Amino acid sequence: MSSGRPFAVFDIDGTLIRWQLYHALADELVRQGHLDAAGFETVRAARMEWKKRSGTNAYAAYEAALVELVDGGITGIKVQDLQSACRSVIAEYKDQVYTYTRDLMQQLRAQNYLLFAISASQMEIVQLFAEYYQLDDYGGSIYEVQDGHFTGTKTILKSEQKPKYLERLVERNQATWEGSIAVGDSESDIPMLERVAQPIAFNPTKLLFDKAQQQGWEVVVERKNMIYRLEPSDGSYQLKA
């Protein structure tokens, strides 16, 4: 039996924080004049279409417009300017988190769990979030820097890369897979959830819910001031009080 400490790994956007760090950072970069304000109107319009639930692909279209804006504007931005925007976002959003995942982190820390976070958001903002919550280790997307400016080249921590990155965190921290927990909210977290002993689908998207139901994973939903735990039972779910 391994003598290492057990771990829990969390997605951040939509799982710990109630919004998306990547999206909030783009908003802040526009406010500070580092991204094209006119181009952001296209993003804003796409975001509104998603908020109106105008179609099943509305969120994907909004996210694609946002990524295009950020990718097109990140080249040449000073590292210090991005860091300033990151600090502003964390100052505003750091406590806007879900009760369930925040309390789960506290409970697991008391049980001697190592706490990890893995996100596709930029490493700079993931680091600030992880430091605020005193996480033991973390991972995010890397944007290349030369002479104090971003070059536009990036290494995104994509869905399929999360399990391998998690393995690095486990090895680096001499953790054990026994009793391991992962919490995620979307289909991009499925590869990470499949890797651990206890996967938890939190406020899941339809695709993640379908996967959870197939695999018999626990589902947790937080709505207003209520937390609903759905336990698998014969291919369906029962509400746990």
For the stretch 85-128, pLDDT in tens is: 999 999 999 999 999 999 999 999 999 999 999 999 999 999 99
Work out how many domains the chain is built from and give that number: 1
Angle, CA of 144, 30 and 138, to the nearest 5°: 45
Whether residue 45 lies inside any domain: the answer is no
Query: Of 186, 17, 177, 164, whose CA–CA distance to 105 is shortest?
Result: 17
Residue 74 in any domain: the answer is no
Residue for token pair 């992962």: 182
Q: Which of 198, 235, 194, 240 is nearest to 221 (CA)?
A: 240
In sequence order, what are the residues at sequence separation of 6 or more whose Cβ sits closer than 8 angstroms to the Cβ of residue 146? none
pLDDT at residue 241, as a whole number: 60
Instruction: Calculate the alpha carbon distances from 211 to 14, 162, 185, 218 in Å.
Output: 18, 17, 12, 11
Residue 92, domain member (yes or no): no
**How are beta strands 218-223 and 226-233 bridged, if at all?**
antiparallel
Does the residue 115 lie in any domain? Answer: yes
In sequence order, the 6+-apart residues with CB closer than 8 A to the CB of 86 are 25, 122, 124, 125, 128
Predicted local distance difference test score (pLDDT) of residue 2: 52
Backbone angles phi, psi at 55, to 5 degrees: -175, 165
| First vs last C-alpha separation in the chain | 34
Domain for residue 52, yes or no? no
- Quote the domain boundaries for residue 233: 5-18+97-240
Residue 71 lies in a domain: no
| CB-CB contact of 122 with 87 (8 Å) | no
- Residue 228 in contact with residue 218, Cβ under 8 Å? no
Using alpha carbons only, what angle is made at residue 103 by residues 102 and 104, rounded to the nearest 5 degrees? 90
Q: How far apart are CA 8 and CA 202, in angstroms?
A: 14
CA atoms of 226 and 212, how far apart (whole Å): 21
Where the chain has pLDDT below 70, the residues are 1-3, 241
Q: Cα–Cα distances in Å, from 42 out to 18, 58, 65, 103, 220?
A: 23, 13, 7, 37, 34
Q: What gap in Å lies between CA 203 and CA 188, rounded to an integer?
A: 13
Residues 206, 172: Cα–Cα separation, whole Å:
34
Q: What is the CATH number of the domain that holds 158?
A: 3.40.50.1000
